[in-house]
Structures are given as structure tokens and as C-alpha cells.
Amino acid sequence: MRGAPADTIVKHLLVAEPNPALSASLKRDYGERLAFVGCRDFHCARTHLLESPPDVLVTNLRLVDYNGLHLVLLAQAANPRTRCIVHTDRPDLLLIREAQANGAFFEYTARLPHSLAGYLDARLPDRDRRDPERFDRRIAFRGGRRTADHAALV
């Protein structure tokens, strides 16, 4: 799967997310800017994906009886230019690597609302080269000399 060219404008966002709170949050943040379609299950997302392939597909790795990889494969078949982002709050390294091998980008669910804008606006490489096994140093508090860090150090 190839990243969209820099002159491509993302217009259509399909979100397959069983958590209604996360889906509502994404719709609030991006719904006015894009044609936003939110689906709570695989079957709804599959129908929308095949009827009108989106510019960006955001899917949870776990969709009850299915997983987001099924949607990634369908998206590639329907439109190879669709950007796919797979997210989860329960990482399974085998499935994450499989998603990356199929051209999807991976995010942790907690970071998705903040990082999605970058996926929509940036020119992306052909594949996600990040290693999901590597510890993300942004998660751990490392201290510092800022006044805001004082409470955490005491």
C-alpha cells in the first residue's frame, strides 16, 4: 500500500470502532472537516468500504468476531491508495506486525485522537517502519528541571 501523494486531499474517513465514546470523539474532532462514517462493527464497515472506498480507514484491531486486518485487506483490494491505520489498547505483536506487513500504520488507542491529524495531513512512507516491540520512551517520566516536574519528583 502506498502513502497518498502530498497533493491528495483526504475527504472521506471511515472509522470502524466498537467503542462509541472513541468514535464520537473522532467524529467531533474530524467530522466537520471530512466526510466521516463511523461503524461499530465489521459488517457495517465492510459495506461502506466496498460501496465507497475511503481515503483513510481507521480500525480497531479487535472487532468482536473479526479483526481490523480483514478490513485492511478489503481496503487494499477496493482502493490501494487508501491509508489504513490500525489501533488497539491490547497489543498483540503478531497481529500488529501482520497489519504493518499489509501496509497499515499502527497506533495505540490512547494516542489515536492526537495522532490522527498527522496521518490525514502528512505524506506517509509506503509502510510503517516502527518496531512495536521497542519501548516508547515518551510514556515514561524521565524528570527534568522544569517547575512542572517538581511535583512528580517529590
pLDDT tens column, 87-146: 999 888 999 999 999 999 999 999 999 999 888 887 878 788 887 777 666 656 565 566
The residues with which 87 forms a beta bridge, in sequence order, are: 60, 107
Distance from C-alpha of 124 to C-alpha of 106, rounded to nearest angstrom: 13
User: Element (H or E) spanning 22, and its range?
Assistant: helix 20-30
Domains and CATH numbers, the chain: 12-126+133-153 (3.40.50.2300)
* pLDDT for residue 128: 84
List C-alpha distances in Å: 152 to 68, 108, 138, 139, 146.
38, 24, 16, 14, 11
Residue whose C-alpha is closest to residue 99's, from 136, 137, 59: 59
Q: Is 147 left (phi over 0), alpha (psi -120 to 50) or beta?
A: alpha
The whole-angstrom separation of Cα 133 and Cα 96 is: 10
**What is the reported pLDDT for 33?**
86
pLDDT at 4 over 70: no
Locate 59 and state its grid cell. 480500525
pTM of the model: 0.79
Instruction: Calculate what percentage of the chain has a pLDDT beyond 90.
Output: 57
